[in-house]
Structure 1
């Protein structure tokens, strides 16, 4: 396996993972111009296209050993909160992967999404389309923390192979890395915890975290999950989202995680170039697939095939 094309490439987590295991991404596409520009900065060797992949002319896209794709997850994930997953244009992006596979018939493909993707009403139809094209499917749900990412982030990975039977992948089992490894207590903009206007819910979370973990811990600034108790620095971080979610508490001060810390929490290398706008950078990070997870999956496919 030497080459790949990256569909819905976004920030480039899949492309970076491919590069880390010696697979060269020759073509990458996304509908977002900032995402394409950022991907091009980090992967200048690839051809870049900014377009809706439903409109792609696959005859103009180079063939490759593997197609990697992360179709939009926003139509599936429960992280949408009150706006629960429903049928929308985001869900239909997965059909573009079928189109690409049908035209190119690569030896392998790898599709990444949230686990709820498998609950999509059209999931079985989507799988049947891939079966009709001659692919055996190996769906697995892996946690990025098991790949050495300092963050718990479960994702479904659907591997397609042109074989009679699905391949058997060895699940990752690397030691979990604590979030303490990525936090720089000398960085960021700190503010007093007890300041005018601080939300009572935030103060309640801080008090609960102090009782459980002492003076230093992380906690979500909003949402559920570890919201009531905080989270020990000795554990991986919870899932990084497209909004600034995680705060770090240090004694009587607190701040949100910096862009660099979120980048490290996603498993991107420190030299990876991000947009200067912090909000945009975090949005891209929250939408990305952690490079070590992609790297492990691609390498596992290569070993099992």
Structure 2
């Protein structure tokens, strides 16, 4: 059991309607809220959740197929439904996760989809239970869903007001440190009309040092296109100084990937590998070496430890920056540097499930089960506890009227 945050609100309980490995529930616990009901369709996820949250009632069920009356009504509910943009309804073929990964394992059918719950299950459950606060987490692209206006309208018709929040998990720092990972997600906060609105600015604006004002400020989100106020950090928005005459672009301090790297684990020298790395991988490594290596007096190179992502256009980066977004499969390699003569002297290994869980900001005491691949799947599917912690605390403050003071971050490393 992780250390308690000191917050305790026994009269506020929560339904975690896609509990997964338990990131949203862990965040709720850190915010002092009792998780009363936890639901998921994957038996292993329910098993892991029940071990770490034994006081919650658990049900292994497909939310899209069950009657909301099956469960007790709680004050709050958290939903992390599957992204509707990528369902068969959009004409895209659903990915079948049946190939061997680098761990040599195949996931069971029950784990193939993130969740069988959909955005419309949020409406079904809210219609019956009339939760006072509903928190919905999804990928940023869900805002492009063709039925987004209809979905919002349905919740408004039920008597809810709402606010869309775009938050990167590394900036979720109101009640403690954020995750050592750059992870953009969209959250929709619903509260019942007539209730106090949550103070979203108070809970989602990270502290940053403004060099022009020479003081620490609560940075404000500045959208590059004001007509599109949603998206990803640095792509669609920046953080700026809130001072009217300043508005300097700021970079909040964040945790580095180095916080989760276990350097004691063995890694194989690239030149000694029995099976050579793919040419595309080697090309990325060479590019990373060219970008980050420094020559030594002896004619060699000094190279920092690096992270090599295996997806998208993300490039090799030093471990003193946050880890790129953790996905549901192992997609990050570690390159251990030091003084080398060339690429062949770098040591290479994939990140472990434990390092992925730490990158999601699960506590070290969290207990996992399953194969390596199943553990990576659960971690990559989860909500980062810091994001859930801050948003649930924000909701509790609105519900109870009790002022909860955010804590100052001790971070000093900027990314």
TM-score (norm 2): 0.67
Structure 2: gaps of 5 or more residues:
1-8, 96-112, 173-177, 208-252, 294-302, 338-345, 400-415
Residue 55 of structure 1 and its aligned partner are, at CA, apart by 2.3
Q: Is the 8 A contact 1:242 1:282 kept in 2?
A: yes
Q: Give 1:22's aligned residue.
A: 32
Rate the CA distance shift 1:181–1:168 in 2: closer, same or farther, 3 A.
same
Residue 320 of structure 2 is aligned to residue 234 of structure 1: yes
Q: Is the 8 A contact 2:84 2:142 kept in 1?
A: no
Residue 294 of structure 1 and its aligned partner are, at CA, apart by 0.4
Candidates 239, 246, 271, aligned match of 2:332? 246
Q: Give 2:13's aligned residue.
A: 3
TM-score (norm 1): 0.90
Q: Give 1:197's aligned residue.
A: 276
Residue 263 of structure 1 and its aligned partner are, at CA, apart by 0.6
What root-mean-square deviation, in Å, do the aligned CA atoms of Structure 1 and Structure 2 show?
2.3
Structure 1: gaps of 5 or more residues:
none
Rate the CA distance shift 1:242–1:122 in 2: closer, same or farther, 3 A.
same
Residue 59 of structure 1 and its aligned partner are, at CA, apart by 2.0
Q: Which moved more, 1:250-259 or 1:206-215?
A: 206-215
Q: Give 1:186's aligned residue.
A: 264
Q: Is the 8 A contact 2:269 2:347 kept in 1?
A: yes
Listed as ranges, the matches of 1:71-90 within 5 Å are 71-73=81-83, 75-76=85-86
SS across alignment from 2:118: helix
Candidates 162, 165, 169, aligned match of 2:200? 169
Counterpart CA distance in 1 for 2:389 and 2:349 is 32
Residue 276 of structure 1 and its aligned partner are, at CA, apart by 3.5
Higher helix proportion: 1
Rate the CA distance shift 1:74–1:191 in 2: closer, same or farther, 3 A.
farther
Q: Give 1:93's aligned residue.
A: 118
Number of equivalenced pairs: 295
Q: Give 1:58's aligned residue.
A: 68
Counterpart CA distance in 2 for 1:27 and 1:84 is 29
Larger Rg: 2
